[in-house]
Structure 1
């Protein structure tokens, strides 16, 4: 009897430890997102406004000055570029569309922006993302899409990208596919693929899972599955 109680106590402690780790991981992600939101607002509202004012002044001075036209034009161009980078950084930290327009529009924007930058076609079927999801699940799927598409832009060199979402039974599946370089899925992942671990951990916290199918020079497909009722 004493041994049975000891074994049961050990099992309970193990479950408690896992539950505690999950709670701590959830809290860590929540804190990170709060920090992202605050920094995003500061970048967009404060720094972005100041850059816009400087750019306006430079454009006004350039319009009324002959001798300094060339230098002012270059300065204005640099400020415009910096302003665009600040906007992109704020958008990536916490996209306004996710709160204002929803998950579908946000993921569509991510895919459209990448395909426009790469000059390649993008196939999208994201109607399923119009369905209401818990805020944590929606944010998780957005971050997975963001990470997967960022990886494609950095490493894949694809000629096309496909982003789809479908509901089967009580689960939502987000699929992001490219026909690019791929990688050896059997090899130990290096620093360039650390994002996969982050995606997997985020999905696990909402009861989801990540599946990656890839092979060298044969493209990569990322599946993110989440329960609709969590």
Structure 2
């Protein structure tokens, strides 16, 4: 009986190591694509924009068309930058998880014009790379969903540690939704968060109801 329990634990540990390696490979691919977008395509677009801005035509009509083309290039450059950031935020390695999630929350609440309570002191401690990446993606998805659907008057992003467990909580007092309905296409983000967290042995809990806001809790066991 004991041998069977040990074998089960070993199998679970192997699956977790494989899952973590999968996350690492995915993020390496994201990082490479992010750098290619930012460094190569971004630089090319910047060069084209400079050329267009520098051109002076002989006719007002051509000047207007060149100005419009330059504006479109500027917009495309901004979208490439956003895509590169979304694939792999460069500041995650440089500034750390706490600062990056604080930036996400600040940007969202500034856009919505609502107050935001942020307490992420618990994220100042070093975390395994795959754990930090997963928590960042969950915060990113949760805050994006708030911006798209919730229409809140208040947002809260907090992290706490107890009993060797880290909990990241993203809460709002917005529209909420019926949590008893089976997830449809508009809930695929939640399903993705659950799957991603499960890969590192974590658990996602969603508490919501129509008109009652939404609370998303991401729980992860910390390594000793």
Settle same-fold status: TM greater than 0.5: yes
Determine whether 1:50 maps to 2:44: yes
1:148 is paired with a residue of what secondary structure? helix
Please report how far the alpha carbon of residue 194 of structure 1 lies from its aligned counterpart in structure 2 after TM superposition.
Answer: 1.9
How far did residue 53 of structure 1 move? Answer: 0.8
Q: 1:229 to 1:19 in 2, by over 3 A?
A: closer
Q: Deviations over 1:131-174 (max 9, x none)?
A: 21121211111111011112222222223321112222322221
Q: How many residues align?
A: 223
Q: TM-score, normalised by structure 1?
A: 0.86
Q: CA shift at 1:89, angstroms?
A: 0.5
- CA distance in 2: counterparts of 1:66 and 1:126, whole angstroms: 57
Q: How does 1:16-165 map to 2 (within 5 A)?
A: 18-61=12-55, 67=60, 68-165=62-159
Q: Does 1:229 align with 2:223?
A: yes
- Match of 1:166? 160
Secondary structure of 1:224 counterpart: strand
| C-alpha distance in 2 between matches for 1:160 and 1:77 | 35
Shift of 1:33: 1.2
CA distance in 2, matches of 1:184, 1:97: 36
| Ranges of 4+ aligned residues in structure 1 off by more than 4 Å | 11-21
Give the secondary structure class of the aligned counterpart of 1:222: strand
Selected match of 2:173 from 171, 175, 179:
179
Which stretches in structure 2 are left out of the alignment for 5+ residues? none
Measured in 2, the distance between the counterparts of 1:168 and 1:219 equals 25
Distance 1:73 1:32, change over 3 A: same
Normalized against structure 2, the TM-score is what? 0.88
Higher relative contact order at CA 8 Å, sep ≥6: structure 1 or structure 2? 2
Can you give the 5+ residue segments of structure 1 that lack an aligned partner in the other structure? none
Q: CA RMSD in A?
A: 2.4
- CA shift at 1:88, angstroms? 0.6
Bigger shift: residues 135-144 or 40-49: 135-144
For the residue of structure 1 that corresponds to 2:152, the secondary structure is: coil
